[in-house]
């Protein structure tokens, strides 16, 4: 009987208060960077090009939390980020990009050790831009916007390298993060 009772409890997503606090902190930090970045003028007048500072914490979460926890954090950050930006029309693009990016990085974290967080982030950025462009093709009803993908990949790789290196420095400094993920 006791066993039977434990099964549904396990099926329910359980998070310790400590994990919840850590996740909330990372989400808040990501949102702060997102809002700061909104104040910076866009360096290149090309739709979709941005530094993506908030993704420093997405990459940190990928290497520090479970897939599920990272996913929850990303959804909260993207929805609140779009609300703070007052630009709900960009939600579809960021959500689509983030989905591609997260799937790719969750796969790569099993292959790439912590020394290569920057590399995982570069691939994440490239996948983000790919997802974004795919959403743009659907929205515009035309494949002509695919012409932006190469440029987005070039700028995205640079941005991903920067945010990845930042994330690597953050992960190194999180206490108790010495070992790689199980």
Partner 1 sequence: MKEGKGAKSWIVLAAAVFLAALAAGIFMLMPSGSRIVEVVQDGVVLYTIDLDSADDTVLTVFYPRESSAAARSNTIIVQDGEIWVSEAECPDHICVKMGKLRSGRLPIVCLPNHLMIRFTE
Tell the residue number behind the tokens 């739709």, with chain if given: 47
Torsion angle (degrees, nearest 10) of CA 61, 65, 69, 73:
-20
Identify which of residues 60 and 120 has a Cβ nearer to partner 1 in the complex.
120
- Please name the helix (run of DSSP H) or strand (run of DSSP E) that holds residue 43, with its range, or none: none
Minimum CB separation of residue 28 from partner 1 in Å reads: 24
Interacting residues with partner 1 (CB under 8 A): 42, 45-47, 85-87, 89-90, 93, 108, 111-113, 115-116, 119, 122-123, 126, 136, 139-142, 144-145, 147-151, 153-154, 157
CA separation for the pair 63, 124 (Å, rounded): 13
Q: Are 86 and 39 in contact (CB under 8 A)?
A: no
Minimum CB separation of residue 51 from partner 1 in Å reads: 15
Identify which of residues 25 and 150 has a Cβ nearer to partner 1 in the complex.
150
- Determine how many CB atoms are found less than 10 A away from the CB of residue 125: 29
Minimum CB separation of residue 100 from partner 1 in Å reads: 14
- Please name the helix (run of DSSP H) or strand (run of DSSP E) that holds residue 145, with its range, or none: none
Identify which of residues 141 and 182 has a Cβ nearer to partner 1 in the complex.
141
Q: Are 149 and 133 in contact (CB under 8 A)?
A: yes
Minimum CB separation of residue 129 from partner 1 in Å reads: 9
Identify which of residues 61 and 127 has a Cβ nearer to partner 1 in the complex.
127
Q: What is the DSSP letter of 27?
A: H
Minimum CB separation of residue 116 from partner 1 in Å reads: 5
CA separation for the pair 21, 51 (Å, rounded): 27
Identify which of residues 29 and 80 has a Cβ nearer to partner 1 in the complex.
80
Q: Could you tell me which residues come within 8 angstroms of residue 53 by beta carbon, excluding any fewer than 6 positions away?
A: 33, 34, 36, 37, 163
């Amino acid at each position: 009987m006791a066993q039977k009772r434990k099964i549904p409890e396990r099926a329910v997503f359980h998070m310790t208060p400590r994990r919840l606090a850590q996740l909330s902190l990372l989400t808040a930090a990501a949102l702060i960077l997102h809002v700061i970045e909104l104040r910076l003028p866009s360096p290149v007048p090309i739709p979709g090009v941005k530094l993506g500072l908030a993704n420093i914490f997405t990459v940190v979460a990928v290497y520090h939390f479970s897939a599920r926890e990272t996913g929850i954090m990303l959804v909260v950050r993207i929805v609140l980020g779009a609300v703070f930006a007052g630009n709900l029309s960009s939600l579809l693009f960021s959500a689509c990009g983030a989905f591609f990016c997260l799937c790719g990085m969750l796969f790569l974290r099993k292959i790439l050790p912590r020394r290569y967080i920057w590399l995982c982030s570069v691939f994440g950025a490239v996948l983000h831009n790919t997802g974004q462009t795919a959403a743009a093709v659907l929205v515009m009803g035309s494949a002509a916007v695919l012409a932006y993908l190469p440029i987005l990949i070039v700028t995205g790789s640079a941005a991903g390298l920067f945010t990845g290196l930042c994330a690597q420095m953050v992960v190194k400094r999180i206490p108790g993060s010495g070992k790689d993920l199980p």
